[in-house]
Amino acid sequence: MLGQGGFGIVHEVVSKKNGNTYAIKTMRLPRNLSAQEKQQAEIDVLTRVGRCLNICTLYEVFKTPGHIHMVMEACTGGTLASRLTDKGDGNYSEARVAGLMRDILRTVAQCHMCGVVHRDIKPENFLFHHDGEGAPLKAIDFGLAIYAPRGTMLTERCGTSYFMAPEVVNRSYGPEADVWAAGVTCYLLLSGRLPYADDDLSNFDPESIFRKITSDPLDLTSGDWQLVSEGAKEFVRSLLDKDPRKRPTAVQALQNPWVREGGEASAKQEDTLSSDVVRRLQMFGTFNVLKKALLRQLAAKISNSGDPQVMRLRELFDKLGGTEDSVSFAQFREGLRALVAEGGNHLTDAEVWGMASQLEAEPDECAALFLSSNDEAASLTCPDIKFEDLLASLLNWETVQKRADWRGMVEALFAEMDADSSGELELEELAAVLPGESLAELKEIVMEVEGASNGRIALPEFMAMLSPQTADTLMLYPANGSAEWVGEAR
C-alpha cells in the first residue's frame, strides 16, 4: 500500500500483462450525483493536464461494483511533506528549493493554462517520482480542482486552512489563490515553518488561522529567515501578497530572477534540441482536440515550403525515422528515445511513450497499447505519424505568426470550414475536422473557446484560439522527467 485517506486507498501493483509497475487509486463510488460529478471532474482534469511531466500520468480508469479505480504512474519517493519531516529541521538549500518551486509552479501554470484552479496546492499533494537525489516532483491529487472560465469568481471555502489565501477565506477567489498556496509552500521549504501558524500546531483553531492570514503581516525576519537571501525573501513576499491583483501569475513567478532556471539560486544550464522537443510536445498535449486538429491543417499548408524552420524539422523528422511523409508510431518512439538520450534528457520509457503519443489524433489508444502485453501489442497499432503532425507540435508558431501570410492562411482555413459562408463555424462544420466527435462532445469543445457562443465560433474567436503560445510559455514544461540521474542538487 502506498497511501490512504479520505479519498480512498492507493496500492502499488505490477501488471500481469507487461510486468510494469503502476499505482492504483481506488475510491468508493458515491451514491449522490453531486459527489459523482466531483469524482468525474478529477478524472477529467487529470486527462486534460496530466500529459505534462510535472503531473502524475493517468493511464486508465475502470469500475467494479461500488468502486472506481484509476491506474496511474507509480511514484515511490514519498511526498514532499514526508521529506520535510524526515529531514528534521525542514529547510533545504536555496538551489534545491528553487528547483522544487519550479516543479510546483509549472503544475499550477499548466492547470491555469487549461482553465483549472487546483485549490489544494500543498506539500502532501506532491510526490517524488523516486528516492534518488534530484527526483522530480509530481502532482498527484486533483480532488478539489475545478474548471473556472477566466473571470469566474469561486465562493466555496475549500483546501487546507494553513494554505488558504485571504480571498479564499473571504469566499471570493480565482486562480491567484493557487499562487498564494505555492508561496506558503516556499515559505515552509525555506524556513521549516508555516507563515500563519502557531508554534504549537496541535492547537488548531481555524478561525484564529483565518484571522492571521487576512490581517497579520508576513514575518521574514525571525528564525532561519536571517540566513535566507534577499532574492528568496522577495520571491516569497510577492507570492504572499494579500492583494491577489498584485500577486504574480504562476507564469510570471517562474520568470522571477531567483527561481528561474539559470537564475540566482541555480546553475546555468544550456538548452538543447531535445529539451525544446520535450517541452513543445508537452505543451501540444495540453491543447484541446480542436486546436490540435486546426494546427495540423495549418502545418499541412506550409509543410512543403522553404521556410528554414520547416526544413530543420524535416531533418529532425528524418532523424526520428521518417520516410517520405510518415513514420510508424513505433519507429518515431524509438527515434525520440534516442534523441532525448543523446541530448542528456532524463525520461522514463513511459514518459517517452507519452511524449510520442501527443502527436497522435487519438493518444489514449496509444496509451492502451503501452499498457498491453507484448502479445497484445502485436495485434494493436497506432496510426502512422505524418510530417504535419510533427510540424503542428514542434513549430515555433510565434515565429510563424509573424509571417506576412499568417492572417491570410488562418482566414483561408476558416473560409474552407465555413461551408455555408455564414461567418460562423457551427457544430456540423466542425465535425468535418473532428469526425470522431459526437455533436454533444463538439458542443463541450466549443465551450472551451473563449468568446464562442451558442455553439458557434466566429473569425475573431478562431484567430484568438490559434494565437500561438509565447516563447516564455515553454518555461512551464520541464525538459527532464523521472529517470534517475545525478546532477545539480536543484
Catalytic positions: 120
Task: Encode burial over 208-244: b for 16+ CB neighbours within 10 A, e otherwise.
Answer: ebbebbeeeeeebeeeebeebeebbbebbebbbbbeb
Write the CB contacts of 203 (distance below 8 Å, at least 6 apart in sequence): none
242/165 Cα distance (integer angstroms): 8
CB 383 within 8 A of CB 329: yes
Q: What's the burial of 308, exposed, middle or buried (CB within 10 Å: 0-12/13-18/19+)?
A: exposed
Query: What's the grid cell of residue 94?
Result: 536555496
Tell me which amino acid residue 298 is. Answer: L
CB 300, CB 388: distance < 8 Å: yes
Give dist(CA 219, CA 230) in Å, integer.
14
Distance from CA of residue 278 to its chain's centroid?
Answer: 13
The strand pair at 21-28 and 67-73 is best described as antiparallel
What is the rounded CA–CA span in Å between residue 422 and residue 433? Answer: 18
Give the three cell numbers for residue 21. 509497475
Question: What is the rounded CA–CA span in Å between residue 480 and residue 375?
Answer: 31
Instruction: Tell me how far CA of residue 372 lies from CA of 156, 357, 360, 377, 379, in angstroms.
Output: 41, 15, 18, 6, 10
CB 287 within 8 A of CB 127: no
b vs e for 433-455, b when ≥16 Cβ sit within 10 Å of the residue's Cβ?
bbeebeeeebeebbebbeebeeb
Q: Which three cell numbers stand for residue 319?
A: 532523424
Rg (CA), the chain: 23
Q: b/e per residue, 32-54, with b = 16+ CB within 10 A?
A: eeeeeeebebbeebbebbbbbbb
Does residue 38 have a known ligand-binding role?
A: no
Residue stretches of the annotated binding site: 25
Residue stretches of the annotated binding site for ATP: 25
